[in-house]
Structure 1
Amino acid sequence: MNEVGVIDWGIVGAGHIAHRFAQGLAHVRDARLARVWSRRTESVAAFVQRHGGEGCGSFDDLLASDIDAVYIATLNDSHAGYARAALAAGKHVLCEKPATLNAGELRAVLETARVSRRLFMEAMKPPFFPLYRTLCEHLRRDPIGPVGLVRAGCSVANVPAEHPSFSLDTGGGALLDIGVYEMFLAVDWLGAPLDVQTFGRIGASGVDTFASVHSRHEAGIAQLFCGLDLDGKGDALLAGPHGYVWIHEKWWNPVRATVSYAGGRVVELNVPFEGGGLNYETAHFCELIRAGELESPIMTHEKSLRMISMLDAARSALGLVFPGE
């Protein structure tokens, strides 16, 4: 940290999600964009002109700079390599979801983080949103009982054919690009997965275009879906013995939730967010750096491992293998 308490960030990648991160970073106190690198130099120049910071000529140049943390915003297949290199270079790493392509890669990243004694967190945004935090606190004070069913899903039918989600080579597909959110919700409320059953289909490009996942967990059952060729509502349901929660569309950027109790009582929660939403996970990450922590107590390493294990099982059921696996 070049100034007391100020976290200097470097971004790897200059695509859509990198722009969203930079926009959110402007809403995080005592954090600033310092360096940016992407394989496409013209993208870096446009990015810096829009958001500030300094462009780097290579990934090694970015790692050699005096940044404190790296946000990895590249395509899925490159997450593990960039994360391990950044951690080994002494940088803290916030990595866009999915953290890696598979559980083996994630274990290698976590081992590098352990040896390097640097903070690593998968950038899973929902638990840091004000609505999600408000909902968790509400259910602690006014419970529906232990959640035993999670139902969630989203399918987007208008994804362009050239979008990376349809690329087998870069680790695309509905499961890794959309389903990872649903896996998080299941693991967050129901614990470790015990059994995972999956039905779905593989599209012309070789990736999954739709998947329906049923999983049994330590604390209950999850019914999840994700897709790239159907238009499906993006809401979520959490059911307990004394009521249920409906997190309204789009549940992964949550703003509204309805809590319905068995006796007929209904509580409406409406908590807007600011800064695009990525600023909340980033602020949490910065606080962990300042506190000298190596793991988030909210988005734990074990939670990421449980999520990727579900994704591995689902892909295995569909026969989906990425190059190099």
Structure 2
Amino acid sequence: MRDARHGPVRVGVLGCADIALRRMLPVLAAEACVELVAVASRDADKAARTAARFGCDGARGYDALLRRDDVDAVYIPLPPALHRHWITEALGAGKHVLCEKPLSTSYDDTLELLKLARSRQLVLAENFMFPHHSQHRAVRELLQEDVVGTVQVFSSSFGVPPLDPAGFRYRPDLGGGALLDTGVYPLLAAQLYLGGELEALGATLRIDERTGVDVAGTALLSAADGTAAQVSFGFDHSYRAHYALWGTRGRLTVERAFTPPEQLRPPVRIQQQDRVTELTLAPDHQVRNSVRAFAEAVVSGPLGPAEEELTLRQARLVEDIRLKARRFSHRPGPVWNAPDRTHQR
């Protein structure tokens, strides 16, 4: 394979999922650090239509794309239960991998995939986009300025309205469910701000009677020093994507934490004893930033121990919540209507 340092990273896409069509493919087609080479689908016509739309080649079948010598890396937007197989195939073909979250549906699979990538000196990255938005860097700087004092509690919620009932998110065999779809966002945010291993002290999951997947949940977490994290998530909610850090001197709240549109100037609210401060931060494009970070990793070398450890802690925490959750039956809500896509990733 050609050394990716000699030009833009040549990328192929396995599948024509909605997240790929709406968010990732437009960026992959426009960014100078990558070259969109081909998109694959099991449906040759769909591959051809998508390829024509984004100015690249179409490939019938994922294996056909992985056999191409002009592809350095692949982006995988498939349902979670398919990630393990196609990451393994892609790494076996010598391709770097950017995969939609979660990297796999179990801790053991995630561990084995990271080991395989490391043994082949290939980048394997989980495509959480929100940490690449500059608003979170601004929040960390505010925390360093001691605007809330010592953090005592982290709280976060990510919920979206009911989704298409025919989609993979309502199929247990494809890795559906709210924990793997929306729950992983506040869980990762808690880890990024509290640091170290978090323990799930308790959790709930509401299980849809018709489909068998969890459509909502909560978790109470604890850091090693006793700092608490409270998270809630689901896709049977009005839209919310927020987190808050409550400390000894105040409280800081971010209201569009996970899926801000690139033109949005994110609001941050700081509440102290005698003062409320409303900040408006600069807009940013977290999808573009995520693609650039992946391309940079391909050029500079495999992910380091810190990145791998964060991915493993995330997988371990998700599994812990599954094991400790108290499950409640949930009757299906209103019939799904086409959602406002402004809330989607």
Q: Same fold (TM over 0.5)?
A: yes
The alpha-carbon distance between structure 1 residues 16 and 36, as it changes in their structure 2 partners (threshold 3 A), is same
Q: Are the equivalent residues in 2 in contact too, given 1:196–1:313 (CA < 8 A)?
A: no
Q: CA deviation at 1:138?
A: 3.7
**1:14 matched to which residue of 2?**
16
**1:81 corresponds to 2:85:** yes
Q: Quick one: structure 1 residues 142 and 105, their matched pair in 2 at CA, closer, same or farther if it must change by over 3 Å?
A: same
Distance (whole Å) between structure 1 residues aligned to residue 304 and residue 11 of structure 2: 18
Separation in structure 2 between the aligned mates of residue 217 and residue 3 of structure 1, nearest angstrom: 40
Letter in 2 for 1:211: G
Q: Residues of 1 paired with 2:205 and 2:49: CA distance?
A: 39
Q: For the Cα contact (< 8 Å) 2:118–2:302, is it kept in 1? A: no
1:303 matched to 2:310 = yes
Residue 262 of structure 1: CA displacement? 4.6
Q: 1:33 aligned to 2:39?
A: no
Aligned match for 2:105, one of 101, 104, 112: 101
Partner of 1:217: 223
Give the whole-Å Cα distance in 2 for the aligned partners of 1:319 and 1:117: 41
Distance 1:141 1:52 in 2: 47
Equivalent residue, structure 2, for 1:130: 134
1:94 is paired with a residue of what secondary structure?
Answer: strand
Q: Aligned-pair distance for 1:73?
A: 0.6
Please give the alpha-carbon distance, in whole angstroms, between the structure 2 residues aligned to 1:85 and 1:286: 20
Matched, 1:260 2:268: no
Give the aligned residue type for 1:209: V
* Aligned partner of residue 80 in structure 1, secondary structure: helix
CA gap 1:31/1:296 in 2 versus in 1, 3 angstroms: farther
Secondary structure of the residue aligned to 2:140 is helix
Tell me how far 1:176 sits from its aligned partner. Answer: 0.4
Partners of 1:83 and 1:247 lie apart in 2 by 34
Q: Does 1:190 align with 2:194?
A: yes
Query: 224-233 vs 61-70, which deviates more?
Result: 224-233
Counterpart of 1:151 in 2: which secondary structure? strand
Q: 1:316 to 1:41 in 2, by over 3 A?
A: farther
* Residue 180 (str. 1) matches residue 187 (str. 2): no
2:295 counterpart residue number: 286
**How far apart are residue 232 of structure 1 and its match?**
5.2
**Cα offsets for 1:56-107 (capped at 9, x unmatched):** 2232221222211111110110111111221122111111011110101101
Which position in structure 1 is the counterpart of 2:59?
56
Query: In 1, Cα distance between the equivalents of 2:9 and 2:277?
Result: 42
Kept in 2, the 8 Å contact 1:135–1:269? The answer is: no
- The equivalent of 1:323 in structure 2 is none
Match 2:156 to one of 152, 155, 161: 152
TM-aligned CA distance change 1:263 to 1:5, over 3 Å: farther
Match of 1:313 among 320, 333, 338: 320
Q: Aligned to 1:235, what secondary structure does the other structure show?
A: strand
What letter is aligned with 2:66? L
Q: Deviation at 1:142?
A: 5.2
Kept in 1, the 8 Å contact 2:204–2:326? The answer is: no
Distance 1:141 1:287 in 2: 30
Paired with 1:209 and 1:183, the residues of 2 have a C-alpha distance of 16
Structure 1 residues 54 and 232: alpha-carbon distance in aligned structure 2, compared to 1, 3 A threshold:
closer
Gaps of 5+ in 1: 321-325
Q: 1:251 aligned to 2:257?
A: yes
Q: Distance in 2 between matches of 1:284 and 1:16?
A: 22
Question: Does the aligned pair in 1 maintain the 2:203–2:326 contact within 8 Å?
Answer: no
Deviations 1:29-60 (A, max 9, x none): 32121121122323212211111211122322
Q: Distance in 2 between matches of 1:142 and 1:269?
A: 19
Range with greater deviation from structure 2 (33-42 or 254-263): 254-263
CA RMSD of aligned residues (A): 2.2
Q: Deviations over 1:110-157 (max 9, x none)?
A: 111111111111111111012222322343345533433221112223
| SS in structure 2 of the partner of residue 148 of structure 1 | strand
Contact 1:148 1:190 in 2 (8 A): no
Does structure 1 conserve the Cα–Cα contact (< 8 Å) formed by 2:15 and 2:62? no
Seq. identity, %: 27
The normalised TM-score by structure 2 is: 0.84
Provide the rounded CA distance (Å) in 2 between the counterparts of 1:74 and 1:127. Answer: 21
Q: What is the DSSP-based 3-state SS (H/G/I as helix, E as strand, rest coil) of the residue aligned with 1:169?
A: helix
Name the residue aligned to 1:114. 118
Whether the aligned pair in 1 keeps the contact of 2:5 and 2:299 (CA below 8 Å) is: no
Structure 1 pair 272–199 and aligned structure 2 pair: CA distance change class (3 A):
same
Relative to 1, partners in 2 of residues 1:130 and 1:200: Cα closer, same or farther, differing over 3 Å? same
